């Protein structure tokens, strides 16, 4: 099975500062990769997904961007954080199997002050 | 619009008791339905995945059912343990949205 690594685990950043969250995947090749945000009391919101190196699709307009510089590396970034960017960020990976089962990373708790 | 509704929103039961969580969906066309367990501050972990032809599927003390006609699923937890305290998320794959997530049921097991 796949193993998803995310870091940092927690992050506290001031408004207007930049952001870089990293996700790496082990145990598979050519995965589909996803960034989700989970706000308190709400379901997971898909932010970006990628089907390959350099291929990024954005699901919602926002202050964030994503990049995939390597097959098993997915990065979430922002040039200037907003208070509303606070949340729990999850990276997920899947392969093109019958189930397209997603494996989730441990998440990053971001607090913007 | 594709939607996944879960109930109850939260649930508190005593250790050793059974409980059932509900998931209703409007996703169409339907591909599969997953139940995830998410411990506080951690990423979701898959419990079961069911396709259209599967009515029930078990994973240890967890048993999921699916009624594709009524578009309902349930997750039954038997002989609950303290470690079952978590959020349980129902996710449906299908339709134009790909994956539609429920907001989850927050389950607390009390000793």
Instruction: Tell me what the mean pLDDT of segment B50-56 comes to.
Output: 91
Q: Does B104 touch chain A (CB under 8 A)?
A: yes
* HSE (side-chain half, CA atoms, 13 Å) at B17: 13
Please name which of B85, B21, B94, B42 lies closest in space to residue A38, comparing C-alpha atoms: B42
Confidence class for position A112, pLDDT limits 50, 70, 90: very high
Q: Does B68 touch chain A (CB under 8 A)?
A: no
List, as ranges, residues 10-39 from B with C-beta within 8 Å of A.
Answer: 32, 34, 36
- Indicate if the pLDDT at residue A42 is higher than 70: yes
Q: Average model confidence (pLDDT) for chain A?
A: 91
Shortest distance, CA B104 to any CA of chain A (angstroms): 7
| Closest chain B CA to residue A102 | B46
Contacts 24+ apart (CB under 8 A), B56-62: B62/B35
Contacts of A35 in chain B (CB under 8 A): none
- Indicate if the pLDDT at residue B2 is higher than 90: no
Which of A102, A103, A107 would best serve as a mutation to test chain B binding (most B beta carbons within 10 A)?
Answer: A102
Instruction: Tell me what the mean pLDDT of segment A29-47 comes to.
Output: 89
pLDDT tens-digit readout, A2-25:
899 999 999 999 999 999 999 999
Contacts of B103 in chain A (CB under 8 A): 41-43
| pLDDT score, position B96 | 76
| Closest chain B CA to residue A46 | B99
How many beta-carbon contacts under 8 Å exist across A and B? 42
Helix, strand, or coil (residue B21): strand
Q: Identify which of A44, A107, A109 has the shortest CB distance to residue B101.
A: A44
pLDDT tens-digit readout, B60-111:
999 999 999 999 999 999 999 999 999 999 999 987 778 899 999 999 999 9
Cα of A79 vs its chain's centroid, Å: 16
Confidence class for position B56, pLDDT limits 50, 70, 90: very high
| pLDDT score, position A99 | 62
């Amino acid at each position: 099975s796949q193993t998803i690594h995310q870091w940092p685990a927690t992050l506290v950043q001031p408004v207007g500062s930049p952001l870089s969250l990293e996700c790496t995947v082990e145990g598979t090749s050519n995965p589909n990769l996803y960034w989700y945000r989970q706000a308190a009391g709400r379901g997971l919101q898909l932010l970006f997904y990628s089907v390959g190196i350099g291929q990024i699709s954005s699901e919602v307009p926002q202050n964030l961007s994503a990049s995939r510089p390597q097959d098993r590396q997915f990065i979430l970034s922002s040039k200037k954080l907003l208070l509303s960017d606070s949340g729990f960020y999850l990276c997920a990976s899947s392969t093109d199997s019958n189930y397209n089962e997603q494996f989730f990373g441990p998440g990053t708790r971001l607090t913007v002050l | 619009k594709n939607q996944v509704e879960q109930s109850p929103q939260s649930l508190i039961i005593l250790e050793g008791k059974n409980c059932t969580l509900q998931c209703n969906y409007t996703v169409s066309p339907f591909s599969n339905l997953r139940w995830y367990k998410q411990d506080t501050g951690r990423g979701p972990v898959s419990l079961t995945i069911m396709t259209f032809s599967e009515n029930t599927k078990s994973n240890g003390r967890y048993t999921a059912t699916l009624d594709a006609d009524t578009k309902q699923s349930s997750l039954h937890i038997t002989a609950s343990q303290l470690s079952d305290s978590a959020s349980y998320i129902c996710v449906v794959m299908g339709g134009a949205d790909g994956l539609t997530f429920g907001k989850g049921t927050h389950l607390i097991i009390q000793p």
